[in-house]
Structure 1
Amino acid sequence: MTNNSHTIPQQTIRFGAERLTIEDVVAISNGAAAEMNTDAAFTSKIDRGVAFLERLLKEEGVIYGVTTGYGDSCTVAIPTHLVDDLPLNLTRFHGCGLGDDLDRQQARAVLATRLCSLAQGVSGVSHPLLNQIVTLINHDISPRIPQEGSVGASGDLTPLSYLAATLIGEREVIYQGQIRPTADVFKELGIEAIKLKPKEGLALMNGTSVMTALACIAYKRAEYLAQLATKITAMVSVGIQGNAFHFDEALFAVKPHPGQQQIASWLRSDLQAERPPRNSDRLQDRYSLRCAPHVIGVLQDSLPWLRQMIENELNSANDNPIIDGDNERVLHGGHFYGGHIAMAMDMLKTAVANIADLLDRQMAQLMDYKFNNGLPFNLTGATGERKPINHGFKAVQIGISAWTAEALKHTMPASVFSRSTECHNQDKVSMGTIASRDCLRVLQLTEQVTAASLLAATQAIELRKREHQLTDTNISPALQAMQQAVLSDFEFVIEDRPLEQDLRHFINKIQHQHWSLY
């Protein structure tokens, strides 16, 4: 097995040039550097938008959020001498987020997604603002952003106000593992706070960048889980003496979902070994083994269109109004609406929760002596007179069921819970950020199920080997490598012991995508 997880990407992501990918955002979240496009075509486009806005202001043109109030207050005219103060007030009155904070990785992803949107060049922001976000990324300064308080339209107003506040030296940041006042960190590093131009507060806050940042992170974790669940399924099939022919290529050729076929192909590869004698007369395995490609395949087949939706949102200008500096127009619309991310995350969390449910059912079989084809109850490794007092993975299996149930409970779609807010101006909202947060919670619970299942499947195969029911000829090189990789960090369970720290260790490995699987 190749360990490719703990190397921070040594790369620099350029903004304002080519389209960014999910992987670019995740690279920034994990420590990659950022830079702005310096080509003349890009820099002049930014300049034209700013110059157009400045001309409009001099002519006392009416611009939403610049010379008017916000939202339902759009009919309130702002006196010319107060226009410069308006964005500052916008950042401050939205400073009401609650709940846990986004972690450093998530907050860095928010910096990347907002910078990508503003770098489309139609938000009317200036080079100093763009460069200030780059400075935060490259100095590893992350805004402290509370998770709760966004309904997903007009974008992530409240959480993004914490990014805006950081740029101007206010509130707090995560720096070197500590939460500190922004002003203190800026002073220590010699960073000068910027002053927001009239449109810039709205441009920073009125968008979908928090939900999109979380969606990028969720996507990569789900992509890895599809692979790891496939590997575990192969291990369970070996451990339970399952039927490898359930994954036959000719069988899957007649139901041509490409993702499902990919899962079946990976399973065939993992099960290419001499078949051991079976202690079962069942022609067909139970559904959690036989139909595993059909369950994991739903997630695998969803990934391409989920990528399209997430990356289109990532590379969009998703604030309001749009500033068309080339044609000197102000375009009022609703690009802050996060419906695509909401739907993508509702879909993704459901597909991921089904992975937890699949593994939960596999584990119920694997640990039950009535169904596991001769393995000891609860996979205990104890023998002789000590066997009756040892209970192996009994409590772990209960935990798997608890984590699975909680994951399934979170699959209620957030996108259908729109609320009318802000004097009924925001009367249909996306709930995209809540959907993204729900998805991350489902991923966490499913990763817990997956870590426990990996250890249990490893224990099952080791039991077969110790009881001389399996030899290396019965296990493919790929599964042997996975077995050895797990056992290098996990001691075979003979006498009962607390397994919490083992579980936490392997959850961490999963979240850092420690093993190259396929």
Structure 2
Amino acid sequence: MNLSIDKRYITLDEIKEASTIEISKDQAFLDYINHTHNFLMNEIKNGKPIYGITTGYGASGKNYVTFEDSKTLQKNLFRFHGCGIGENLSYKVCKYAVIMRTVSLSKARSGVSVELLHRLEMLIEKDIIPVIPSQGSVGASGDLTPLSYIAAVIAGEREVYYKGEIKDVMEVYSELNITPYEFKPKEALAIMNGTTIMSAIALDAIEKFEIILDSMESYVAGMFEVLLGDDTPVADFVHDSKPFSGQIKAAKNIQTKIAGSKLTHGRDDRYDKFFADNDLNIQDNYSMRCAPQVLGVIRDNLIISKNWVETEINSVNDNPLIDGENQKIYTSGNFYGGYVAHAMDTLKICAANLADLLDKEFALLVDHKFNRGLGENLKLSTEPFYHGFKAMQISLSSLSADVIKNTTAASIHSRPTESLNQDKVSMGTTAANDFAKMMPDLHNMLSIAFIGMAQAVDIRGASEVSPHLKTIHDRIRAIVKPLYEDRRMDFDIKNINVLLQEAKFI
């Protein structure tokens, strides 16, 4: 999809679907951009000290430079921030970042030129995507160090993703006959002084987490079936009585997915089973009965977090802000990434609760004391020297600990830096990276759990389960055979992980 960019509000879905971008050709929009830019240039030429444009940065803001030196100042800004560390962000996250920065600068409150917007447009059109390290930002003054990699690429320095490889940008520019861009005053600062990297990481992680949450509801629905569960905890009446929208949706999703199952039962049937089976509790465990409530909180927090990230990418979050219409310049702090930081810290807690719920449910599935006839560790063989899913549960449980231990809020770990000028920072990029790092563990946990679910379906009989669970079972069995004898299962986990990330279990 070609995404047209002007001053309008742009959604997360539009950014996810964009293959190319186009700066609007509407003359009123272009005039607005030019008017703001020209006002700023005139202020500089008139000798007014303007932060980061004719002064140094941060604690060096007391140092004045001339208009003639201001271009050198912009060049030095992205150069001295070329100290990013850690693993490189993915091609997709880096592409998101370029699009998001274009959206923010197109609000015409940053003072950049139309020429700069077209340079960003060109990067997406030619698929020349800056390679950006994941670490080195405290989230205020924005993502300075990681965003310097976008600025540097525009100016013909550092590396890019191009045609599936990482190349020196000048090699690509030479091949395509592209001349490096020379920043006008304020433009490198406008690129770098924002919350774009944390927002790009957040969007990519949220995409993955939405699939994980939908898949988790499929797993919970399967648990109701293979553990011969009472389906009244997902009844409409229950959730109409506590009308949180996320909880209602989670319950309805589970209810829909178990439709057609021959294994679940209603409340009245429970009475008969209770008197016939001395080992049957009148109610199922909390991890079953409260699953809609657990997942509902996650669903509602996900909506809030997505709204915050979407608002952030539509904000003007550099400094200073330029009001070309009223000819004023505002020194401000919109680069503080607090909303993204708190959204990501909240979703880290949500991810941990999902991991904990999955750990508890899988423990029920493999434990013969609770799994209602599925046997010890889901073994299909009666031989005493086979072990079934014993080690698979250990691996899943270890992953849950890895997720849960990383839930400390990054936003409370503000670190004063830059001669105490940046004395209160958001840590938004750290929070986003923390949340993103949970996704591989959750993928692997669910991969193990679904392999176990398929084994449970084999034991109960595939003809007894719902059409939804039968489809999942068939997809798993197409690439992973049932477990009879002890064997390595790491490759099975990797293969199911691919299906999971392709949203095959929702």
Does the 8 Å CA contact 2:47/2:66 hold for their aligned counterparts? no
Change in Cα spacing, 1:17 to 1:501, as seen in structure 2 (3 Å) is: farther
The alignment status of 1:400 with 2:420, answered yes or no, reads no
The alignment status of 1:494 with 2:449, answered yes or no, reads no
Query: Which range moved further: 175-184 or 272-281?
Result: 272-281
Aligned residue number for residue 281 of structure 1: 280
Deviation at 1:193, TM superposition (A): 1.4
The CA deviation string for residues 430-452 of structure 1, in whole angstroms up to 9 with x for no partner, is: 00000000010122211221121
Aligned residue number for residue 455 of structure 1: 451
Of 467, 475, 496, 1:477 maps to: 467
Of 145, 154, 163, 1:158 maps to: 145
- 2:409 counterpart letter in structure 1: P
- Structure-1 separation of matches of 2:173 and 2:486: 52
* Secondary structure of residue in 1 paired with 2:61: helix
The alignment status of 1:73 with 2:60, answered yes or no, reads yes
Aligned residue number for residue 495 of structure 2: 505
Does the 8 Å CA contact 1:25/1:109 hold for their aligned counterparts? yes
Aligned residue number for residue 411 of structure 1: 407
Aligned residue number for residue 373 of structure 2: 374
- Structure-1 separation of matches of 2:486 and 2:224: 25
The alignment status of 1:136 with 2:135, answered yes or no, reads no
Aligned residue number for residue 63 of structure 1: 50
The CA deviation string for residues 437-494 of structure 1, in whole angstroms up to 9 with x for no partner, is: 00101222112211211221121112211xxxxx63x422222222222322322222
Count of residue pairs brought into register by the alignment: 494
* Secondary structure of residue in 1 paired with 2:364: helix
Aligned residue number for residue 45 of structure 1: 32
- Structure-1 separation of matches of 2:177 and 2:317: 32
Aligned residue number for residue 443 of structure 1: 439
* Secondary structure of residue in 1 paired with 2:21: strand
- Structure-1 separation of matches of 2:503 and 2:179: 38
> Could you list the runs of 5+ residues in structure 1 that have no partner in the other structure?
1-10, 466-470
- Aligned ranges 1:270-419 → 2 under 5 Å: 270-273=257-260, 275-276=262-263, 281-381=280-380, 383-384=381-382, 387-419=383-415
Change in Cα spacing, 1:362 to 1:51, as seen in structure 2 (3 Å) is: same
The alignment status of 1:214 with 2:201, answered yes or no, reads yes
Does the 8 Å CA contact 1:353/1:446 hold for their aligned counterparts? no
* TM-score normalised per structure 2: 0.94
Does the 8 Å CA contact 1:349/1:443 hold for their aligned counterparts? no
Does the 8 Å CA contact 1:34/1:137 hold for their aligned counterparts? yes
- Structure-2 separation of matches of 1:396 and 1:121: 55
Identity %: 38
- 2:134 counterpart letter in structure 1: Q
Aligned residue number for residue 8 of structure 1: none
Change in Cα spacing, 1:128 to 1:274, as seen in structure 2 (3 Å) is: closer
Deviation at 1:205, TM superposition (A): 0.3
The alignment status of 1:122 with 2:112, answered yes or no, reads no
The CA deviation string for residues 42-79 of structure 1, in whole angstroms up to 9 with x for no partner, is: 11111112111221122112111110001111111013
Query: Which range moved further: 396-405 or 244-253?
Result: 244-253
- Structure-2 separation of matches of 1:150 and 1:339: 13
Of 415, 429, 434, 2:430 maps to: 434
Does the 8 Å CA contact 1:25/1:216 hold for their aligned counterparts? no
* Secondary structure of residue in 2 paired with 1:485: helix
Deviation at 1:17, TM superposition (A): 4.7
Give the RMSD, CA atoms, in angstroms: 1.6
* Secondary structure of residue in 2 paired with 1:99: strand
- 1:452 counterpart letter in structure 2: I
Deviation at 1:274, TM superposition (A): 5.2
Does the 8 Å CA contact 1:128/1:194 hold for their aligned counterparts? no
Aligned residue number for residue 184 of structure 1: 171
The alignment status of 1:18 with 2:5, answered yes or no, reads no
- 1:408 counterpart letter in structure 2: I
Aligned residue number for residue 167 of structure 1: 154
Does the 8 Å CA contact 2:85/2:135 hold for their aligned counterparts? yes
> Could you list the runs of 5+ residues in structure 2 that have no partner in the other structure?
266-272
* TM-score normalised per structure 1: 0.92
Aligned residue number for residue 82 of structure 1: 69
The CA deviation string for residues 191-220 of structure 1, in whole angstroms up to 9 with x for no partner, is: 221111110010000000000111111222
Change in Cα spacing, 1:274 to 1:143, as seen in structure 2 (3 Å) is: closer
* Secondary structure of residue in 2 paired with 1:389: coil
- 1:103 counterpart letter in structure 2: S
* Secondary structure of residue in 2 paired with 1:442: helix
The alignment status of 1:242 with 2:229, answered yes or no, reads yes
Does the 8 Å CA contact 1:235/1:458 hold for their aligned counterparts? no
